[in-house]
Amino acid sequence: MKSVFKVSILAAAVTMLVACQKEEPKKPAVQEVIQETVVLNSDDEKAAYAIGSSLAQYLKANLAQQEEMGLILDSKMVLLGVQDAFSDKAKLTEEQAQAALKALDERVASIMEKRSKETSAAAVLAGKELRDKFVKEKGVKTTDSGLMYKVETMGKGNKPLAQDTVVVHYKGTLPDGTQFDSSYDRNQPATFPLDRVIPGWTEGLQLMPVGSKFKFVIPAELAYGDQDSPAIPANSTLTFDVELLEIKEKAKEAEVKAATTTK
């Protein structure tokens, strides 16, 4: 669901700085230089500046995401830690720094676990409400597994088997209507073996003749279950609008049969 920078990466970066300071000969303290205009003349200067800029961008994004979780880490303290490490004036020993970062990791993990449970519980409730509403619509059918579907357009082609490769256009949404994926937006249909997708798709598409358009409401146990991702919360009921364009294996068989017949 939604990517959070791992604190362990930050820990590794700080640890590397501390280690470098221990291993390298003592150097003069870094002096703070404020200039209105900085000219980068050599490739080495540009590379050094790029390293600092890249680190700053990472730290900035990391702190913003920590703040979003309710952890307010002062950027001035971060910059002071970097400056002190380069100046051999670290206010924490390596062991103390590691302990502080480990504690931060644990706090982040605790917050993420709590949020995941809350989001999952909300997804379960929203999914039930969606299914209860959808089942009342005209033409909705429910299979023994719990898969719900409604025929929007019934095609006249063949139906795929679980081992077939299909070509489809589709749009996927969460119970609140949020779209998490769409081949239409990419203007490129998706091609995949039918036995390598979520169970709801494997079962549902076998009900569709080529040329059909179905709406599927797939409970979590036939979708991604308790897997949590940035786009799809754990235990989410998913809605898919699916259009079956082609059955690859069937098409190949037809081509072979036609070629054999004309000989």
Q: Which residues are catalytic?
A: 170, 180-181, 198, 224, 240
Q: How far apart are alpha carbons 4 and 66 in whole angstroms?
A: 9
DSSP β-bridge partners for residue 239: 173, 217
* Phi, psi torsion values for 150, nearest 5 degrees: -140, 130
Three-state SS at 42: coil
Per the listing, tokens 């036609």 go with: 258
Nearest to 224 by CA among 192, 201, 204, 194: 201
Q: How far apart are alpha carbons 181 and 47 in whole angstroms?
A: 39
